[in-house]
Each structure stands twice: as structure tokens, then as C-alpha cells.
Amino acid sequence: MQNEIQQIVKKLQLLPHPEGGFYRETYRCETVIPQSVLGYDFNAQRNVSTCIYFMLVSGNFSAFHRIKQDEIWHFYRGSALRLYMISLEGKLSKVKIGSDILNGEMPQFVVPAGYWFAAEVIAENSYSLVGCTVAPGFDFADFELGDKVILGELFPNHKEIIEKYCR
Ligand code: GUN
């Protein structure tokens, strides 16, 4: 399995992502949306859309983070991952991103803008290779990693999950 993971990381030229896992941006639309159209939520213009490969390996996790736009997840290969989401109202939900549709896994799923979310591979000794597409396009200025203490105070009902999936 480690060999397969290494081969995929190499073939797809993936690099470590600050939220955990590996990624590479595969698409950045050349057309730009001016800040006057985006509004004050965004600090500058953004490309219309971007897309990445994202690979998560068992035993690691994607830490709670949020972005300012909806994020569309697409499952490609490996085994299913579980996404944990905390809505703007503080409601926790979970979804499995995978290809076993008949057992409730979703090959495609949209995480709404502003939700805090984290992810982990469900199976041991495995990996999940997915795609993440956003519009407006991704910019690290719109990306915020969750702080364990602050999130725990904001959402005391979900403290356990927050402590498990923050760094
Ligand atoms: N580009 C760099 N990081 C990310 C990310 O976390 N999500 C998306 N969609 N694009 C990115």
C-alpha cells in the first residue's frame, strides 16, 4: 500500500498540504472575477474557479478548516473518507465520500461555504484520492485553519470531535 501511495504521489506530483495530506492544483481558470463583483468577503480579485487533486492517507487527517466558497469533492481512487462538517448554526454532520454508492458513499459532495470541516480515511492502511473544486478560485487568504480552543468554545457540544481533528 505504501508503495502505491508513493507512486501516486510521484505520478501526480502531489505536495504536502497545510491542512494534512497531499495535493496539486490542476486547474486555475484564467478569467478573473473583480473584487467589486465578489464583495467585501474577498480581499481582492479571484480566478473564476480552481481544482486540485487531494490525497489523504490512513492515520493522518485533514484538520478542521473553513473557506469562503462552496467546495465540491469528487472521489477518484482508494477507499472512502469521512467528512465532518459544522454548519454556520453549529450543527455537526458527517458524510462518506467514496464509490460504494449502494452503501451510502457519495462520489460527489458539496461542502457549503463557511462550514468548518475535517476529513479522515475510514479504513486502516489505505488512502483516498479525491478532487476538490471551488468557485471563486482558491486563495490561501480565504482559508482558515481552526484553533482547537476557539472552536471548542464556539461549539461546546462538539468538543470531542474538534479536539480530535485539530492540530
Ligand atoms: N488549493 C490549495 N489548497 C486548496 C484547498 O484546500 N482546497 C481547494 N479547493 N483548493 C486548494
- Compute the mean pLDDT over every residue in the chain, rounded to the nearest whole number: 97
Domain of 100?
2-164
Determine the pLDDT at residue 156. Answer: 97
With a 6 Å cutoff on the Cβ, whether 161 touches ligand 1 is no
Determine the pLDDT at residue 40. Answer: 87
Instruction: Determine the average pLDDT of the residues in 94-110.
Output: 98
Cβ–Cβ contacts within 10 Å for residue 128, how many? 27
Instruction: Determine the average pLDDT of the residues in 1-29.
Output: 94
Q: Report the candidate in 65, 34, 68, 33 with the shortest Cα–Cα distance to residue 49.
A: 33
Q: Report the candidate in 82, 51, 88, 67 with the shortest Cα–Cα distance to residue 19.
A: 67
Instruction: Determine the average pLDDT of the residues in 43-63.
Output: 97
Domain count, the chain: 1
With a 6 Å cutoff on the Cβ, whether 52 touches ligand 1 is yes
With a 6 Å cutoff on the Cβ, whether 121 touches ligand 1 is no
The CATH number linked to 96 is 2.60.120.10
Whether residue 20 has pLDDT greater than 90: no
Whether residue 23 has pLDDT greater than 90: yes
Counting atoms of ligand 1 from 1, which one is nearest the CA of 71?
A: 9
User: What does residue 135 show for φ and ψ, rounded to 5 degrees?
Assistant: -145, 125
With a 6 Å cutoff on the Cβ, whether 25 touches ligand 1 is yes
Q: For residue range 123-152, list pLDDT tens digits in order.
A: 999 999 999 999 999 999 999 999 999 999
pTM of the model: 0.95
Residue to mutate (ligand 1; options 53, 61, 67; most atoms within 8 A of CB): 67
With a 6 Å cutoff on the Cβ, whether 134 touches ligand 1 is yes
Secondary structure element (H or E) that encloses residue 57, with its range? strand 50-57
CB 165 within 8 A of CB 84: yes
Counting atoms of ligand 1 from 1, which one is nearest the CA of 52?
A: 10
- pLDDT confidence band for 1 (50 / 70 / 90): confident
